Amino acid sequence: MTLSLEPLAVVFLTLMIACAVAVLSVRDLLAAVVVFGTFSFFSATYFAVLGAVDVALTEAAVGGAITAVFFVTAIFRTDRGAD
Amino acid sequence: MVRLSLIPFLALGAILVAAAGGLPPVGDPESPPATHVSPRYIMFGHEETGAANLVTGVLADYRSYDTLGETTVICVAGLACWLILGSRSRGDKER
Amino acid sequence: MNFAFGSPALDAASRLMTPFILMFGAYVVMHGHDSPGGGFQGGVIIAACVILVRLVRGRAGGWNLSPETALALTCAGVGIFVGVGLLGPIFGGNFLDYAALPLSLKAGEVRAVGSLAIEIGVALTVTGVLTLVFDALVEARNDG
């Protein structure tokens, strides 16, 4: 049981879990997309902290920009509420 | 129903937390991924591929079959999206 | 083709940012050997730039990158990849073996040139695919 608990890792992982719970609990899909974007940026920063800068760049570009845009476009095709 | 779905969720979470204890620490040079082929990449990667960034060296040179398959998958996935979603704008009669 | 969030502030901001995003995307593709990056990341950044312009100004401001052109870019990317790979057997090596290319450089540098070529192919593919998917999503909304 050797979980490495560096402070930065704890901070970013906690923020990621908070963002994930918020994505699920928000009723407005557009707000959920925005929170999902922040989740992506936290995970990108966490990858950068771990030293995987290539993965961080990919996560920031794909998760933060492209996925959000595609989700917003898909939401505009359908209804905005989650129910 | 939501209460009921909590039971497998919590069980899965407990399994994952228990399994996370078996993972090697971050950056452990003795861990299995860092002992087989990684030392060779680290020692000879720069002079063999000419890439200072080892990730690109591995992706584009040592593992370029992998990247070729990945590119093909991306291409086919985009084609499928375009064919399925954009059939109206192209004026296809039957869909 | 009315899917545009245009406003003067957004328009000015996108006009200001677009060249720098494009330049950064090209830098990430070209310099992927020595710094973090590569074909996939650079292609995504370039596609994000194209999509930004489309979001702000609609299709009219999108440099007329039609779906057919994006499709051609996609297939050209895979074609570049396979073509560079096939240069290996032509010059007496293995498939995707860049060391066989007849260039008067050091061994590592020849392979770096080959890798750069396939990175450009990957970047073209990713840019084309993301633009294509975005166009398909938007057009399906406008016409349906």
What is the extent of the structural domain holding B59? 54-87
Q: Do C134 and A73 touch (CB under 8 A)?
A: yes
Q: Is residue B76 part of a domain?
A: yes
DSSP character for B93? S
**Hey, which residues 12-31 in chain A have their CB within 8 Å of chain C?**
none
Q: How far is C-alpha B57 from the chain's CA centre?
A: 17
**Hey, which residues 46-85 in chain B have their CB within 8 Å of chain C?**
46-53, 55-57, 59-61, 64-65, 67-68, 71-72, 74-75, 77-79, 81-82, 84-85
Burial class (CB in 10 A: 0-12, 13-18, 19+), C104: exposed
Question: Which tops the pLDDT comparison, A56 or B2?
Answer: A56
Tell me the HSE value of A51 on the side-chain side, using a 13 A CA sphere.
5
Nearest to C48 among A54, A58, A61 (CB): A61
Nearest to A53 among C36, C55, C130 (CB): C36
Output the pLDDT for position A34. Answer: 92
Output the pLDDT for position B87. Answer: 66
Q: Is residue B59 part of a domain?
A: yes
Residue B5 distance to chain C (closest CA, Å)? 34
Per-residue model confidence as pLDDT tens digits over B4-55:
888 999 999 999 999 988 888 777 788 887 888 888 888 888 888 888 888 8
C-alpha B17/C-alpha C85 separation (Å) is 44
Residue B54 distance to chain C (closest CA, Å)? 8
Q: Is-contact C37 B51, C-beta < 8 A?
A: no
Q: Is-contact C49 C22, C-beta < 8 A?
A: yes
Q: Do B53 and A54 touch (CB under 8 A)?
A: yes
When pLDDT is cut at 50, 70 and 90, the band that residue C98 belongs to is: confident
Per-residue model confidence as pLDDT tens digits over C38-61:
889 999 999 999 988 888 887 766
CB atoms within 10 A of CB A81: 10
Ranges of each domain in chain C: 8-143
Nearest to A4 among B25, B53, B56 (CB): B25
Q: What is the mean pLDDT of residues B50-66?
A: 86
Output the pLDDT for position B92. Answer: 57
DSSP character for B25? P
Q: If you count residue pairs, one on B and one on C, with CB atoms under 8 Å apart, how many are there?
A: 120
Q: Is-contact C41 A58, C-beta < 8 A?
A: yes
Question: Which tops the pLDDT comparison, A80 or C26?
Answer: C26
Please report, as a single letter, which amino acid is at residue A21.
V
CB atoms within 10 A of CB B1: 4
Report CA torsion sign: A43, A45, A47, A53: positive
C-alpha C97/C-alpha C115 separation (Å) is 10
Q: Is-contact B54 C109, C-beta < 8 A?
A: no
Residue A75 in tokens: 């939401």
DSSP character for C93? S
Q: Do B26 and A50 touch (CB under 8 A)?
A: yes
Residue carrying structure tokens 């502030």:
C9
Q: Nearest to residue C129, comparing CAs of A11, A6, B75, A22?
A: B75
Q: How many helices (H) and strands (E) in chain C?
A: 4, 0
C-alpha B78/C-alpha C71 separation (Å) is 9
Q: Is residue B30 part of a domain?
A: no
Q: Is residue B82 part of a domain?
A: yes
Q: What is the mean pLDDT of residues C132-142?
A: 77
Looking at chain A, the whole-number percentage of residues with pLDDT higher than 70 is 88
How many structural domains does chain B have? 1
- B17-to-A1, B8, B20, B25, C101 alpha-carbon distances in Å: 11, 14, 5, 15, 50
Q: Do B25 and A2 touch (CB under 8 A)?
A: yes
Q: Is residue B72 part of a domain?
A: yes
Q: Do A73 and C137 touch (CB under 8 A)?
A: yes
C-alpha B67/C-alpha C118 separation (Å) is 9
Q: What is the mean pLDDT of residues A10-20?
A: 91
Q: Hey, of B2, B9, B26, which one would you mutate to test binding to chain A, going by the most A CBs within 10 A of its CB?
A: B26
Residue B18 in tokens: 């228990």
- B59-to-B80, C107, C108, C115 alpha-carbon distances in Å: 26, 18, 15, 9
Question: Which tops the pLDDT comparison, C140 or A28?
Answer: A28
Burial class (CB in 10 A: 0-12, 13-18, 19+), C73: buried
* pLDDT surpasses 50 at C1: no
Query: Which chain B residues are closer than 8 Å to A1 by Cβ?
Result: 21
Nearest-Cα residue of chain B relative to residue C105: B50
Q: Is residue B70 part of a domain?
A: yes
Q: What is the mean pLDDT of chain A?
A: 85
pTM of the model: 0.85
Question: Which tops the pLDDT comparison, C37 or C82?
Answer: C82
Instruction: Write out the DSSP string of A17-34.
Output: HHHHHHHHH-SBHHHHHH
Question: Which tops the pLDDT comparison, A22 or C1?
Answer: A22
C14 interface with A at CB cutoff 8 Å: no
